Chain A
Amino acid sequence: MSVDAAVGVRPSRRLAGGTAAGLGTAVLYLSLIVLIPLAAVVWRSADEGPGYFWRSVTTPDAWAALTLTIGASALVAVVNLVMGTLIAWVLVRDRFPGRAVLDTIIDLPFALPTIVAGLVLLALYGPQSPLGINLAYSRAGVVLALMFVTLPFVVRTVQPVLLELDGEMEQAAASLGARPFQTFRRIILPNLLPAMLSGTALAFTRAIAEFGSTVLISGNLPFKTQVAAVNLFSQIEGDNMTGAAAIATVLLVVALVALIALDVLQRWGSRRG
């Protein structure tokens, strides 16, 4: 039984009464909760004209927050690309006691509330660090928080692809005299690359949007450790809604671009597969 069987041969249906009613309800629900509010953000950001929009986004503190967010997210995405693939590899190809536990706790950052993630990191890497490492109120702390919340993305996208990749091609390559590195570069990497990149894109999108985990460990110092979502939060608290909407729109656009890139990557991946 495959997706094709479910989708493929199917009696052609007009838009039946049931479908229309269900579709109407779903669209209404989505509109009231998601679409109209998001449209209101974009609409509001343009309220005072493009000049005001540009000035809101380029005020020194907002600009610093946006560049920090995009820079830190890019860095974290690259770290995830490498470490996520490595962890997925170890989880699939290696056998050692505790592997199953490791495999389970990888998802913990998805289940843990972000504010708890921040607090937990601050306990180990803050002023009272038992390790003597204090990253509180520093950009390294921001990067650490983003690394924590994005840990599962690349691991979980690469893992299933790696599971399906049986050893035959690698054995064939090895029997033809390929060195381990050649096998990795020519056989494994091309197969994994689409999954690695889509996991990275997801991690990047998440990092751009992140708020809760950075609140405690960053100290929210403007120009230094304040990320875009926190800057946005302070604009809302200061009742500067149009400025806030402008920053929110920039965040939405960046996320949208990353998602479109992700979609392209997935099509590329399925074409290759």
Chain B
Amino acid sequence: MAKHVLRLTAVVYILFLLVLPVGLIIWRTFGDGLGPFVEALTSPSAVHAFKVTITVAAWAVVANTVFGVGAALLLVRHEFPGKRLLGAFIDLPMAVSPVVVGLALILVYGRFSPAGGLLESWGIQVIFSTPGMVLATVFVALPLVVRAIVPVLEELGDEQEQAAHTLGASRLQSFVRITLPGIRWALGYGVVLCLARSLGEYGAVAVVSGRLVDQTQTLTLFVEERFQNFDQPAAFAAATALALIAVVTLLLTKLLRPKDLSDGN
């Protein structure tokens, strides 16, 4: 009896908080068939928003992947004073509000700050432009790749790498042949999480982009702007597209996650 009450409570809670709302928007979007959905997403503004989103996300994922692998190796394979502090700093972005991220970047890289002014004199505009949006996205997604790799690197140990070293392999060789294959699933997992976070970032990008339609508007900003302008079909279509990306992400991470655990053992 108690078992059934608990089960029912959990299912109803998830149903009304999660499944029905997401289901409703997908149903509303496709209610009139695929035509309006495609039409709404192929308008010039929507296509532009797609392009901006992909550009920003691609840069952010590359930056965070390179940093993520390097930082994870540093944290697991090297000893240095302040290691715990570095780990804490890497986790810090998780606790910072996206709007605070935006403000922080404006204060340092905005036109009226010393650094921003200097960059502007070199012809590089950061805030209200792509570099600032990339910085904001890198900031919010920073810990994801590191945190995905660290446990697997720890499980893996460095015996094989040392063996490779003894046999005359260079650092690069042992990284490419030994370390990278060992962490490939975890790396994939981290990259997928990072990509999803980058495609979906709203708050930080809303602050640093200036929300200029057809210029710095990403897909998430497009959703908000269309909705506020009473263009529900376009807002719902873009939201559904983003929701579908989220579902694919979820399934991908589900596929990748058990593997890195079995890899580690």
> How distant is A30 from chain B, measured CB to nearest CB, in Å?
6
Decide if A211 touches B98 in the complex (CB within 8 Å): yes
Q: Is A166 interfacial (CB 8 A cutoff)?
A: no
Decide if A215 touches B207 in the complex (CB within 8 Å): no
A248 to B104, CA, bound (A): 9
Q: A41-B103, A124-B21, A241-B107 are contacts. A104–B254 as well, Cβ < 8 Å?
A: yes
Stretch in B33-41, B42-50, B135-143, B183-191 touching the partner: B135-143
Chain A residues with CB under 8 A of B200: 111-114, 116
Q: A41-B104, A209-B100 are contacts. A15–B80 as well, Cβ < 8 Å?
A: yes
Closest residue of chain B to A98 (Cβ to Cβ) is: B11
Q: Is B256 interfacial (CB 8 A cutoff)?
A: no
Chain B residues with CB under 8 A of A112: 22, 200, 242-243, 246
A 1-34 to B, binary, CB cutoff 8 A, 1 in contact else 0: 1110111001011011011001101110110011
Q: Is A170 interfacial (CB 8 A cutoff)?
A: no
A35 to B139, CA, bound (A): 10
Q: Is A86 interfacial (CB 8 A cutoff)?
A: yes
Q: Is B223 interfacial (CB 8 A cutoff)?
A: yes
Closest residue of chain A to B83 (Cβ to Cβ) is: A23
A35 to B88, CA, bound (A): 12
A106 to B94, CA, bound (A): 19
Chain A residues with CB under 8 A of B202: 113-115, 211-212
> How distant is B158 from chain A, measured CB to nearest CB, in Å?
7
Chain A residues with CB under 8 A of B13: 83, 86-87
Chain B residues with CB under 8 A of A15: 79-80
Q: A90-B7, A108-B18, A124-B20 are contacts. A251–B100 as well, Cβ < 8 Å?
A: yes
Stretch in A55-63, A187-195, A228-236, A264-272 touching the partner: A228-236
Residues of B1-33 at the interface with A, using a CB-CB cut-off of 8 Å, are 2-3, 6-7, 9-11, 13-14, 17-22, 24-25, 28
A10 to B161, CA, bound (A): 13
Decide if B98 touches A38 in the complex (CB within 8 Å): no
Residue from A23, A35, A216 whose CB has the most chain B CB atoms within 10 Å: A23
Q: Tell me the dominant secondary structure on chain A's binding face.
A: helix
Decide if B6 touches A94 in the complex (CB within 8 Å): yes
Decide if A209 touches B21 in the complex (CB within 8 Å): no
Residues of B101-124 at the interface with A, using a CB-CB cut-off of 8 Å, are 101-109, 113
> How distant is B30 from chain A, measured CB to nearest CB, in Å?
13
Tally of contact residues, A, Cβ under 8 A: 87
Q: Is B58 interfacial (CB 8 A cutoff)?
A: no
Decide if B80 touches A120 in the complex (CB within 8 Å): no
Residues of B199-236 at the interface with A, using a CB-CB cut-off of 8 Å, are 199-203, 206-207, 220-221, 223-224, 227, 235-236
Q: Tell me the dominant secondary structure on chain B's binding face.
A: helix
Residue from B14, B96, B250 within 8 A of A209 (CB atoms): B96
Decide if A120 touches B11 in the complex (CB within 8 Å): no
A236 to B138, CA, bound (A): 21
A18 to B70, CA, bound (A): 11
Q: Is B125 interfacial (CB 8 A cutoff)?
A: no
Decide if A119 touches B199 in the complex (CB within 8 Å): no
Q: Is A244 interfacial (CB 8 A cutoff)?
A: yes
Decide if B70 touches A26 in the complex (CB within 8 Å): yes
> How distant is B145 from chain A, measured CB to nearest CB, in Å?
13
A41 to B102, CA, bound (A): 10
Decide if B28 touches A123 in the complex (CB within 8 Å): yes
Q: Is B258 interfacial (CB 8 A cutoff)?
A: no
Decide if B80 touches A119 in the complex (CB within 8 Å): no
Chain B residues with CB under 8 A of A244: 103
Closest residue of chain A to B105 (Cβ to Cβ) is: A37
Give me 8 A-to-B residue pairs in the complex whose CB atoms sit less than 8 angstroms apart, sorted by A's number. Answer: A2-B155, A22-B74, A26-B67, A26-B71, A41-B103, A86-B6, A114-B200, A119-B235
Task: Give the interface of B toward A (CB within 8 A).
Answer: 2-3, 6-7, 9-11, 13-14, 17-22, 24-25, 28, 67, 70-71, 73-74, 76, 78-80, 86, 89-90, 92-109, 113, 135, 138-139, 142, 154-158, 171, 196, 199-203, 206-207, 220-221, 223-224, 227, 235-236, 239, 242-243, 246-247, 249-251, 253-254, 264-265
Q: A33-B139, A37-B139 are in contact. List 17 more A-B contacts (CB 8 A).
A: A1-B265, A25-B70, A26-B67, A34-B142, A86-B6, A94-B6, A102-B10, A102-B14, A107-B253, A111-B247, A111-B250, A112-B246, A116-B242, A116-B246, A120-B25, A123-B24, A212-B206
Task: Give the interface of A toward B (CB within 8 A).
Answer: 1-3, 5-7, 10, 12-13, 15-16, 18-19, 22-23, 25-27, 29-30, 33-38, 40-41, 44, 83, 86-87, 89-91, 94, 96, 98, 102, 104-109, 111-116, 119-121, 123-125, 130, 144, 147-148, 151, 180, 205, 208-212, 215-216, 228-230, 232-233, 236, 241, 244-245, 248, 251-252, 255-256, 258-259
